Amino acid sequence: MEGVDLTSDLPPAVVARLREALLSHKVLVFRNQPMDDERHVELTNAFGGATAAHPIVNGLPENPAVLRTALSEERKALIEAEAGLSHPLKERTLRRLRTEWHVDSTFVVNPNAITILRGVEIPLTGGDTLFANLEALYEGLSPSLRGYLDTLQAIHSRHAPSAPPRFDGKPAGPFAAVHPLVRVHPETGARSLLVSAVFLQAIRGLKPRESAALLDFLLDELAGRDEIHARVRWEQDMLVMWDNRAVAHAGPVDGLLFEEERIVHRTTVVGDVPCGPNGFKSRALMGGRFEALA
C-alpha cells in the first residue's frame, strides 16, 4: 500500500481502514517501513493483541512476541528434507506437492488471526513468499463437493519433544486440535478451506485411505491453481500483513537456490476459535489456547 507510514502510532480511523483493506485483499504489502521490534509489536497490538512469538518456538529474549527466522539456520534441514535424509532407517513417505503450504499455528485451537512479517536482512534476489486465497480455493470446487466438505472436521497437530520451555511458562506442546475443514470467517462470513499441509494430519471420521486421498486432492488444488496465488518479492524494510484466516502461504520456496542470508521478524495477532458452516467449533485435543501476551 502507498502513502501509509506504519513507523509511528496510527490513529484508530487509519487502523480501521487498514483492517477493511486486509479483509478485502487478504494480503497487504508495505514498502519502506524501517522500524525496530518494539514498534513492530506496537503495530501488532493495534490490530488486536500480540501473542507470544510461537506456541512452540521462543521469540527474542528481549522481545518474546517477535520470532526471528534466519535462512542460514534452516538450510541444513531443507537439504535433508529435499534428499529424504532425516533418518536412514525412516520409512520413505511420498512428498505432497508443495508441502510447505500452510496456515500459521493450526495445531492450536485458536490459530492466530493476523500475521505480520518484516524484512530485516533481505538478499538481492530470492526468498520470495507465496500466498494462496483459501476462499477462492473453496469457491472453485463443485457445489456438491463443497456441501460435503462443509460437514467435515480435520485433525491438526504438532509435537517438538526437544523444544525449550516457553518464556511465558506455558507448555511448548504437544498440541493437537480438531477444526472444521471449512471455516466461516468471523468478520466477513466468507467460507474458506482450512487446509495446512504442514500440520493437517487426517479427516475425522474417514478411513485412512479415504482421508489421505481427499487431503491429497485438496492440497494439490491448493498448490496447483496458479490463479489463486500471489508472490511477494521481498525488499529491505518491507512489511507484509496477511489474514491468517483466509490465506495459506509458503516460503521461502527457493531457499536452496541462493547463498545470501535472509532474516525476517514475525509477530502474530491472537485469533478466535474457528467455526464451520454447520456450527461446529474447533476443539483442543492436546494443549491450550494461544493467547495474547499480558
Percent of the chain whose predicted confidence (pLDDT) is above 70: 92
Q: Dihedral through CA 190, CA 192, CA 194, CA 197, nearest 10?
A: -150
| Confidence grade of residue 84 (pLDDT, cut at 50, 70, 90) | low
What pLDDT does residue 63 have? Answer: 95
Tens-place pLDDT, residues 19-50: 999 999 999 999 999 999 999 999 999 999 99
| Confidence grade of residue 93 (pLDDT, cut at 50, 70, 90) | very low
Kindly tell me if the per-residue pLDDT of 73 is higher than 90.
no
Cell (9 digits) for 52: 507470544
How many CB atoms are closer than 10 A to CB 282? 24
SS3 115: strand
Kindly tell me if the per-residue pLDDT of 83 is higher than 80.
no
Percent of the chain whose predicted confidence (pLDDT) is above 90: 78
Ordered domains of the chain (ranges, CATH): 12-89+97-286 (3.60.130.10)
What pLDDT does residue 163 have? Answer: 85
Cβ pair 124, 235 in contact under 8 A: no
Tell me how long the chain is.
294
The Cα angle at residue 109 between residues 105 and 115, in degrees rounded to 5: 35
SS3 23: helix
Q: State residue 166 phi and psi, 5-degree precision.
A: -70, 145
Tens-place pLDDT, residues 195-227: 998 899 999 999 999 999 999 999 999 999 999
Among 178, 212, 191, 194, CA closest to 248: 194
How many CB atoms are closer than 10 A to CB 201? 15
Global confidence as pTM: 0.92
Cβ pair 282, 103 in contact under 8 A: no
DSSP 53: S
Side by side, the strands of the sheet bearing 175-180 are 200-203, 153-158, 175-180, 283-286
Tens-place pLDDT, residues 234-263: 999 999 999 999 999 998 878 778 889 999
Kindly tell me if the per-residue pLDDT of 149 is higher than 80.
yes
How many helices and strands (H and E) does the chain possess? 6, 14
> Can you list the positions of beta strands (E) in the chain?
27-30, 67-70, 114-121, 129-133, 153-158, 175-180, 182-184, 191-193, 200-203, 229-232, 239-243, 247-250, 263-269, 283-286
HSE-CB of 107 using CA atoms within 13 angstroms: 20
